[in-house]
Amino acid sequence: MNEDFKNEKLCREVSRQAAMFILNNTNHTSLITVTNIVISVNGKTGMVLISVIPDHKEGAALDFLKRQEREFTHYLKENIKTAFIPRFRFEIDRGEKNRQRIEEISQNSL
């Protein structure tokens, strides 16, 4: 099987599982959305990129998810059938925040 296809398939499944993990483990005081999954070239580590609404809850949401990273790895091992699960960390998707800001500025200037 093509390595790029396997990586893409793993990213899709990790994204789906990360969304379920967040849904089942947060207190729902903010909307946390998985925006992207990035896996390192060597396949040993990865990032779950998220966005948080409202913005002022971003720090608390990220702190919580960072404390849950070990549990998330165990969750993935139980729910994804693959030989190796990279070690993932949660991060805010700055690219998505920048895109939203540009869109907001564009709409306000019209």
C-alpha to C-alpha distance for 29 and 88, rounded to whole angstroms: 23
Question: Among all chains, which residue has been given the structure tokens 């139980």?
Answer: 78
Supply the pTM of this predicted model: 0.85
The CB-side HSE value for 108 (13 A sphere, CA atoms) comes to 6
- CA angle 54–56–57, rounded 5-degree value: 70
- Domain residues of the chain, as ranges? 3-108
107: three-class secondary structure by DSSP: helix
Question: Among all chains, which residue has been given the structure tokens 């998810």?
Answer: 65
C-alpha to C-alpha distance for 110 and 25, rounded to whole angstroms: 41
Class of domain 3-108: alpha beta
Per-residue pLDDT of the chain (110 residues; tens, 9 = 90+): 577 778 889 999 999 999 999 999 999 899 999 999 999 989 899 999 999 999 999 999 999 999 999 999 999 999 999 888 999 999 999 887 677 777 777 777 76
Q: At what angle do helices 3-25 and 69-79 cross, to 10 degrees?
A: 120
Which residue type does 6 have?
K
For position 95, what pLDDT does the model report? 82
